[in-house]
Structure 1
Amino acid sequence: MADRIGSLRRLRGRGITQRAYMLQPVRSRAARIATRALACIACVACLAAGGAAVRGYDVHIAATHASCVTPMTPTTPTTPTSRDEVQDALMRAQLALKQEVASRAAVQKSADALAVEVGRLKAQVLFLQGQSHSRR
């Protein structure tokens, strides 16, 4: 009897060490892909919100500058008459243009970085899907 129990323990011990264990995903593939897709959509929404905020800020600044440039008394002409006024208006316009170019460049840089991240994540998803197909 003791001999039989010892052989069972040996068999059981050998079976445990020789089995192939594989990790099983907690969530289904569809849930994982949906989660990644939602993350990408959230990134795009954040970019759109950021662009809208920058645009709104630019409109606000332009309105503020327009109210500063526009004279308060109706008797003075609205177009600049002296060379200095024209030069000041030109410098303000150039500054506003530089600010807009800088803000657009920042948004574009952010969009490019997110596009690279999305590409990297897609490559990882394809790799992991290939790995899961090869194990089956």
Structure 2
Amino acid sequence: MADARRTTRVRTDTQRAFELQPVRSRAWRWSMALVWTVLAAGAGAGAVAWIEHANDAARCPVLAPDALQVRLTNAELALEQERAARDALQKSAAAAQAQAASLQTEVLFLRGHGAREGAH
């Protein structure tokens, strides 16, 4: 048998949609999301700044353009001097090798000529 004591309150409770209601207000949730975003951005910026500061020692020292130009000019001059010395040494070695070859042929000629005279 059906219960005849149904009240209007019972009917509204059973027909109403039950949903979870937020405990905090929308403004509070948005402000907390903004705070977390700002904190994350600050942490990222701090990490980048720390990494950039840690790599300062590996970078080239800052020099005035004039001092850099002087160093570059000195290096180019040293390279030219080294190249000229190498060329002079190469020419000297080639001349010495040619002289040694001519002396070798002369020695061979004289040995061959002297051996014939001793045989007579």
TM-score category, normalised to shorter length: 0.3 to 0.5
TM-score scaled to structure 2, two decimals?
0.43
Compare CA radii of gyration and give the structure with the larger one: 2
**Per chain length, whose mean CA-contact separation is higher, i.e. which structure has more relative contact order (CA < 8 Å, sep 6+)?**
1
